[in-house]
Amino acid sequence: MAAAALALLLLALLQGHAVAFEFLSIGDWGDPAAKELNPWMGKESPEFVIAIGDNFYSKGVKSTSDPQFEQKFEQTFTAPSLNVSWYVASGNHDYYGGEAGINAEIAYSKKSSRWTFPDYYYDEEITTKDGTKILVVATDTWRINGGDTFVKHDPVSGRMALHSRAHVDAARDSGRIDQTTYDTLLEHFEEEDPNDPIPWCDPAPHGADPDKPTPCTKPHDQVQLDWLEKVLTTSTADWKVVMGHFPIYSCTEHEHGESPKLIQYLDPILHRAHADMYFNGHDHILQHTKRGDVHYFGSGAGAMKHTGINTKYEGLLGVHDGNYGFMIHSGNKTAFKTTFVIDDGSKPYTYTITKPGKNANATARAAATAAAAAAAPAAAGLEGHDRGGIGAVDRSDHGNDNSQPPADVKAWISEQQGRKTAAAAVTGGASASAPAAKGLRSKNTRQL
C-alpha cells in the first residue's frame, strides 16, 4: 500500500508539470513496409520526427529527383499530423548509394518543407510549445565508424572501397544480404587496392578479416567528435538528444549488435558532455538500454524486423522484436516518457525518465525519489507495460542518478509471449500471418 501511495504521489507531481511536448523516432524506414506504421504514427500529434537512417533501401538515392523520395517518404507518411519537421540522419544503406546519394539526401532539404538534413552531421535546438528546449544532434556514425563491414570509408580523404569482393560474395551467397544490396555495392564501390589501402582499424573485427584485429589508435573522424563534444558541452537545453544510425549498445543476436568503435570513441563523449540519451537504428527491433547516466533507445524497426535478442544483455531495460514499430516521446522540462508502438497499434513498453527542474522544490524532489524507490518492487513484474501513460507500473529513473530500476526482462518477454499466444488463440492465429520484412529470411521473423 505504501508503494502504491507513493507512486500516486509521484503521478501527482508529474501531472503538476503538464506533459506538453511530443516527438516520434523511427529508423530503418526506407521501404514500402513502413506504410503499416503510418496510421499509428498519424494518431499522434508530434512537433517533429527524428529519422535515424536507412532512409532508402537498399541502395540509397541517385539525385533529388529520385522517385524514391516520393514513394518511400512523401507518399508513405501521409497522415496530416506527420507534416512536421523530420530531422534526418544517414545510415549504411544510404551510403551504399555512394557519396552522390548522401549529397542528394542533403540537397533534398531544399525541396521538401519537412525534410531537414542540412549536412552530414548537424545540431538543432528546438523550443517546444511548452517552452522545453530539446537539443537534437544528428551524428554521422558511418564516418565515425569508417564505413561498415563491407565498405571502408576514410572521412579525411573521402575515399571508399570494398574491404573484399570475396566477403561481399559470401554475404550474398549465405543470404546475409539480398541481391539488390549486392548489386548496389558492386556498382558503387571497387575492391580496395592492396597497394594503396584505406586507413582502417577494428578493435573487434567481425567482417572481412575476423582473425586480424587492428587496434584503433585514433578515430576515423576526430573533427566530428570534437564538434559533438563542443555542441553538447555548451548547450543549456533541458534535454540533450543525440542520434546516429549505428548502435553503440545493442542486445540483438544474429544481427549487427554493438559497435566497438562507437563504444571506444563516441560513448565517452556522451557521458562527459552529459547527453541524456542516444537514439539509433540499424538493428531491426525496439530496445532500451541504460549505461551510467545515458539512456540508449534503439528504434530500428520502421520497415524491417528481426527476431533474436539477448535478454541478459547488460543494462537492458526493455525490448520488443518481431514487429515493425516506432517510438513516441513526450514530456516537459523534468519528465521524458518513451513508449514503444508496434504495427498492430499496441504499446508493449513505457518508460519515464524524470529529473529535478532547475528550480524544483526540494521536498518535491525528495518525494519523487522516495516514490521511485518504493514503487520499484511493484514495477519489477512489469504488469501493464502494454498501456500508455505514467503510472506505478512505469519504470522510472529519477534524477539521472545512476540508479538501475529493477527489471526481470526475461520474465517480461515471457509474459508478452503468453499474451500474444492467448490473443492468437482468440483470433484464430490471424496475428501470426504478418509477412516477413523485405530482405529478411522468414526464419528470422516471428510474432511475440
CATH (domain of 315) = 3.60.21.10
Other C-beta atoms closer than 10 Å to the C-beta of 295 total 23
Domain count, the chain: 1
DSSP 320: E
d(CA 386, CA 448): 13
Closest CA to 342 of 323, 321, 317: 323
Mean pLDDT along residues 314-343: 97
Does residue 277 or residue 19 have the better pLDDT?
277
How far is the C-alpha of 429 from the C-alpha of 173, rounded, in Å?
A: 34
pLDDT at 14: 46
Please indicate, yes or no, if residue 235 is contained in any of the structural domains.
yes
- Determine the 3-state secondary structure of 289 from DSSP: strand
Residue 283: closest CA among 264, 301, 261, 295: 301
What pLDDT was estimated at residue 201? 85
C-beta neighbour count of 98 within 10 angstroms: 19
Cell 551510403, residue located: 95
| Percent of the chain topping pLDDT 90 | 69
- As a whole number, the mean pLDDT across the chain is 81
pLDDT at 119 (0 to 100): 98
**Domain presence at residue 166:** no
Q: Which of 95-109, 121-135, 212-226 has the lowest mean pLDDT?
A: 212-226
> Quick check: is 335 in a domain?
yes
Lowest-confidence region among 98-112, 119-133, 272-286, 416-430? 416-430
Q: Is residue 82 part of a domain?
A: yes
Residue 289 domain boundaries = 2-144+221-412
Q: Would residue 444 count as lying in a domain?
A: no
- Cβ partners under 8 Å of residue 278, min gap 6: 242, 243, 244, 248, 270, 294, 295, 296, 297
> Has residue 62 been placed in a domain?
yes
Q: Tens of pLDDT along 347-382?
A: 999 999 998 865 554 444 444 444 334 333 333 333
Answer whether residue 357 is part of any domain: yes
**pLDDT band, very low/low/confident/very high, at 217 (cuts 50, 70, 90):** confident
Q: Say what the pLDDT of residue 280 is.
A: 98
Summarised one tens digit per residue, pLDDT across range 376-428 is 333 333 333 332 222 222 333 322 222 223 344 455 445 545 554 554 454 34
Angle 14-241-228 from CA coordinates, rounded to 5°: 150
**Among 281, 283, 196, 207, residue whose Cα is nearest residue 25:** 281
Predicted pLDDT of residue 204: 65
Residue 420 inside a domain? The answer is no
CA 365 – CA 355 distance, rounded (Å): 8
| CB 278 within 8 Å of CB 270 | yes
